[in-house]
Amino acid sequence: MLNWNTRENTRKNKSLMRKMVITTCIGLGFTLTTVYAEESIGTVYHVYVDGDHIGKVDDKEVVQHVIDQKVAEGEKEFKDFSLTVGEEIFYIPEKVFNPTFNNEVVSEKLNEELTVKANAVELKIADRSVGYFTDEESASNILETYISEYVDEDILEDAMLLEPDEENSDAEVLAFEAVSDSKEKEKLATGDSMVTDVDLSDPVTFVNEKVSPKEIYNADQGLTILEKGTLEQKVHTVKKGEVLGRIAGKYDLSTEKLLELNPKLKEDSILKPGQDINTTEYEPFVDVIIHEEKKVKEKVDYETEVIESEDMYKGEEKVKKEGKDGSKEVLYSIEKTNGKETGKTALDETITKEPVKEVIIKGTKVISRKGTGDMTWPAVGGYISSQLGERWGKTHKGIDIARPSSKDIRAADNGVVESAGYTNGGYGNKIVINHNNGMKTVYAHLDSIDVKVGQVVEKGSKIGVMGSTGNSTGTHLHFEVHKNGALKNPTDYVSK
């Protein structure tokens, strides 16, 4: 039989043993738990397509494998493009106990949702899309080809450059830099021109995009679209007197094209003021604006100085000194839009030859329409070969003057030519002058007439040449004087 101390020791030993077993078990339990957790934690990847969650995979390669297959299938049809998938794919990794995933389901969904796209560059002018091209170089080359229709290629290569777009990291902006400097301008010779700047009417950007390969243009297609431009709707309101041809020309259209745009109109249609005419037409995507400087030789017109003289009759003039044009060199700044001149400003000019002023003397002397009342002999010398009175059974109404020293016939006094020309009745070529004081004089049988009806003539001025027209026996002047309608004897008014 154990004593109390022995029993107590035995109890303590058993208690100690239990503690040791429990401690060992707990320690062993922790060890087992730790080992189990390390074996059960794994990483899965949540797959998102354009922001939508489509499932979990245990390896990104599962997704990449589907992408590679899609691209490989697309490359069979579109060999010349850089292909990818059009959707945005991203992953969110997650570490979990007992990870679950379904690679097969995700692969099937990816096959259904992913589309094959081509990496492309979109050419944009202002907010309008011209089209998509394989890469930035292709898009840039097409635009350069279009611009080179108006700008020399060598100049364009030096001026054209691309700059990053501050607002869009996937885009670049087309820019131009100056293509000439001040030293080159100084060397400009007469007749030469130099492009100083090239610009476009609207901003041009190149944007990286993903599109269907079928939407990508080749070089010829892109150039055709740029040249053709965009369809712009325009309406012309008819003004009074306008016709179809004039309206068509105003918009660089043929009449046939204008009729095509307005099916209700015909070529012989009568247009009414206020009527609207459709002038829809293609406008360029962008205008090519060129600034150039050109030095040319130009004529400097001479000035004319007029000196008035009372020694000459009004209407008469003579050149005292002949004028001569000068010359100058002019440097112009010229603006051209799509090859057409749209602006021109003179920057500098140098006179190379001074013009010579022309001096003209103009008469101011006015001939009175009214006679002086004191008539002069109407011929240059000569004698009276026949007097006024009865002759050959008829009344001779005037005097005949023959054998002058000159055949010029003179106006007997100031007046206005009332008639001048050939007449029947025997007078032949005849002149009648109204002296506006009740007196009229008649000059007949003239060989030629130097005045016309309505002309104001001065006393003693030449009005014709003596002759023998009409009923005449020889060269002489038949001269008559009438006062207030009554026939008078000329010898009472004129003397040799």
The pLDDT of 163-186, averaged and rounded, is 75
Q: How confident is the model at residue 1 (pLDDT cuts 50, 70, 90)?
A: very low
The pLDDT of 110-120, averaged and rounded, is 95
Question: Which carries the bigger pLDDT value, residue 234 or residue 232?
Answer: 234
The tokens of 61 are what? 């390669």
The pLDDT of 376-405, averaged and rounded, is 94
The pLDDT of 491-495, averaged and rounded, is 93
Q: In what order do the strands lie in the sheet with 358-365?
A: 304-313, 358-365, 317-321
Res 39: pLDDT: 54
Q: What is the dotted CATH code of the domain comprising 292-365?
A: 2.20.230.10
Q: What is the β-pairing status of strands 379-380 and 406-410?
A: antiparallel
Q: How confident is the model at residue 185 (pLDDT cuts 50, 70, 90)?
A: low
Q: Are 137 and 153 in contact (CB under 8 A)?
A: no
Res 183: pLDDT: 64
The pLDDT of 169-182, averaged and rounded, is 76
Res 49: pLDDT: 96
CATH architecture of the domain with range 230-283: Roll (3.10)
What percentage of the chain has pLDDT greater than the value 70? 90
Res 184: pLDDT: 65
Q: Same topology for domains 230-283 and 379-492, yes or no?
A: no
Instruction: Please list, in sequence order, all residues whose beta carbon lies within 8 angstroms of the beta carbon of residue 42, skipping any fewer than 6 positions away.
Output: 58, 95, 96, 98, 99
Top mean pLDDT of 188-197, 245-254, 372-381 is at: 372-381
Q: How confident is the model at residue 423 (pLDDT cuts 50, 70, 90)?
A: very high
Res 450: pLDDT: 97
CA distances, 57 to each of 69, 84, 100 (Å):
17, 21, 8
Lowest-pLDDT range of 62-76, 173-187, 423-437: 173-187
Question: Which carries the bigger pLDDT value, residue 168 or residue 428?
Answer: 428
Strand partners, 436: none
For the chain, what are the domain ranges?
4-37, 43-117, 120-228, 230-283, 292-365, 379-492
Q: How confident is the model at residue 176 (pLDDT cuts 50, 70, 90)?
A: confident
Domain 379-492 has CATH 2.70.70.10: yes
List pLDDT tens digits, range 83-105: 999 999 999 999 999 899 999 99
Average pLDDT over the chain reads: 87
d(CA 331, CA 284): 31
List pLDDT tens digits, range 320-339: 999 999 999 999 999 999 99
pLDDT at 435 over 60: yes
Lowest-pLDDT range of 205-214, 389-398, 439-448, 482-491: 389-398
The pLDDT of 125-143, averaged and rounded, is 92
Lowest-pLDDT range of 125-134, 246-255, 298-307, 401-410: 246-255
CA distances, 21 to each of 9, 12, 35, 256 (Å):
18, 14, 21, 110
Res 233: pLDDT: 72
Q: How confident is the model at residue 465 (pLDDT cuts 50, 70, 90)?
A: very high
Res 181: pLDDT: 67
Res 95: pLDDT: 94
Q: How confident is the model at residue 30 (pLDDT cuts 50, 70, 90)?
A: very low
Res 37: pLDDT: 42
d(CA 160, CA 166): 19
Res 168: pLDDT: 80
d(CA 471, CA 428): 7
List pLDDT tens digits, range 137-162: 999 999 999 999 998 888 887 777 77
Res 11: pLDDT: 43
Res 351: pLDDT: 96
Res 16: pLDDT: 36
